[in-house]
Amino acid sequence: MLPIHNEITRCRQYGLKGVLGTIISTEGSTYQKAGAKCFLSEDGVLTGLVSGGCVEGDLKEHCKEVLESGLSKRVFYDFRDQGDDLWGLGLGCNGSIEIFLEVIDPINSPVDAFKKEEIFTIALTKSSCIVTMVGSEDASFVGNKWIACDELPLEKSLPFEQIRSGYKKRKEKEMSGLTIVEICGKKTEVFYEFCQPVPKVIVFGAGPDAVPLVNGIKLLNWHVSVVDHRPSFVNEEHFPNADQLIYSPKGSMPTLSLTENTFIIIMSHHFEQDQMILKEVLGSDTAYVGILGPRKRTYQLFEEINRDLEITEKTLVNFYNPIGLDIGAKSPEEISFSILSEMVDVYRGGNGVSLKVMKGPYQIDSKKDREEELAFQT
């Protein structure tokens, strides 16, 4: 969502229109699920994917139509059975997707464009639900969009009781999807999209081994700050993709906002500096606190910290050391992938187990598999 928000902001700054595409329903096996987005700007820049890249070419033509008419549109792609042959793609996805296209026009509709940009801004920072009217017997309803989150009064965020009721039913399980309601006597389809804020990663340490890690974090489209006590290290030359570069003199701790959506990595390779940082963040209400290095070194760090801060199991519930998943990583790049994998695992609530193990072994000797194998050989 962050790249699309940045692209919407760019279009507003340059006075360009764009079309936002959102998957509002899926059936069967699909590459992306409901809520996946793309954005096509007036100058031809496509941001995000709603498929594996297979429908985007055709979708661009629909986007051009929306740009010209200014009217929202729903596009349906069915790849089940002979659907692949229809599109000439041979995907074998065996599923279908429906996409809602809506124009964002900062020149002719500045209030609406600003509102949609603000909705994205809130969704990036807070757990929230974007609510969109995607179909109605009253055409003027289509495209109306709001956002609901715990920090905003629900009655003001969602103007219709029927929509508030649908939100309350879905909120407990954060279940995105379509709901049909009746508003002013008109049947209206509403898409509820529950969003989690973009993780914010703080990397303490701007050494060479932090470069592939920071680049990897940006590939995830997460927000990343780099903090270091060496001004010659923490600069744009070394970290051109970082969102924030912070110079903090040795022995000092910068003022940072730490939330349950914050991931902290300590890798300055300076014992006293790492110890000071660890003492400040240990036990904080963050998603992840990880420190690079073997456990022997970490126990040595704890010796000093434990004199002032009682370290308990509760203190260490979000603490990771050694950091990263065990993938046999050796090089800085491989170690970065290991750390990134663990952070995604924590963020998404995974289990770090190979999908092959989760699915179980292939039953090559089963009757069905033998029949399919013989058919393949012939």
Mean pLDDT, the chain, whole residue set = 89
Average pLDDT over residues 342-365: 85
Q: What's the token pair of residue 216?
A: 């990897």
> Of 3.40.50.720, 3.90.1150.10, 3.10.20.30, 3.40.605.10, which CATH number belongs to 200-348?
3.40.50.720
Say whether pLDDT at 45 is over 50: yes
Q: Is 236 left (phi over 0), alpha (psi -120 to 50) or beta?
A: alpha
What pLDDT, on the 0 to 100 scale, is given for residue 32? Answer: 84
pLDDT of residue 79: 78
pLDDT classification of 133: cutoffs 50, 70, 90 = very high
Q: How confident is the model at residue 226 (pLDDT cuts 50, 70, 90)?
A: very high
**Model pLDDT, residue 1:** 82
Q: What percent of the chain lies above the pLDDT cut of 70?
A: 92
Neighbours of 264 (CB within 10 A): 27
Over residues 51-63, mean pLDDT: 87
8 Å CB contact between 280 and 274? no
pLDDT at 291 over 50: yes
Q: Which two tokens stand for residue 184?
A: 């002013």
pLDDT tens digits for 294-332? Answer: 999 999 998 888 877 777 888 899 999 999 999 999 999
Q: Residue 93: its pLDDT value, please?
A: 60
User: How confident is the model at residue 87, as a pLDDT?
Assistant: 47
164 has pLDDT over 90: yes
> Which of these ranges, 96-105, 161-170, 250-259, 361-370, has the smallest mean pLDDT?
361-370
Q: From CA 148, how far away is CA 156, in angstroms rounded?
A: 9
Taking the chain, what is the end-to-end CA distance rounded to the nearest angstrom?
Answer: 47
* Rounded mean pLDDT, 281-300: 92
For residue 373, pLDDT over 90 is answered with no
Instruction: Name the least confident of 67-71, 345-349, 362-366.
Output: 362-366
Domain ranges for the chain: 1-109, 126-198, 200-348
Contacts of residue 185, Cβ cutoff 8 Å, sequence gap at least 6: none
Q: Which residue has the higher pLDDT, 233 or 89?
A: 233
What percent of the chain has pLDDT above 90?
Answer: 71
Q: Find all residues with CB under 8 Å of 187, minimum gap 6, and list them.
A: 136, 137, 180, 181
Query: For position 210, what pLDDT does the model report?
Result: 96
Predicted local confidence at residue 310, as pLDDT = 76
Residue 378 has pLDDT above 50, yes or no: no
The answer on pLDDT for 371 being more than 80 is no
In the three-class reduction of DSSP (H, G, I as helix; E, B as strand; rest coil), residue 283 is classed as: coil
Amino acid at 219: L
Distance set, CA 370 to CA 275, 357, 367, 376, 378 (Å): 60, 22, 5, 10, 12
Instruction: Give the integer Cα–Cα distance in Å for 35 and 112.
Output: 20
- 355 — pLDDT class (breaks 50, 70, 90): confident
